[in-house]
Amino acid sequence: MLNRVSRYNKYSALLINVILFSSLTQLQPIKAH
């Protein structure tokens, strides 16, 4: 159970990071490439 919880926490953190990054890139479009 603890292993599953840790996995879900990691996935949730990754999703949150992706959402925040996408929102920041949309608000401030930076042409990195």
Annotated domain spans of the chain? 1-33
Higher pLDDT, 30 or 4: 4
pLDDT at position 29, please? Answer: 64
Percent of the chain exceeding pLDDT 90 equals: 45
CA 11/CA 33 separation, integer angstroms: 27
- Written in H, E and C, the secondary structure of the chain is CHHHHHHHHHHHHHHHHHHHHHHHHHHCCCCCC
State the average pLDDT for the chain.
84
For residue 32, is pLDDT > 90? no
User: Which residue is listed with tokens 């608000």?
Assistant: 27
| Residue 32, CB-side half-sphere exposure with 13 Å CA sphere | 2
Q: Which two tokens stand for residue 16?
A: 């949150």
Percent of the chain exceeding pLDDT 70 equals: 79
Mean pLDDT value across residues 20-29: 81
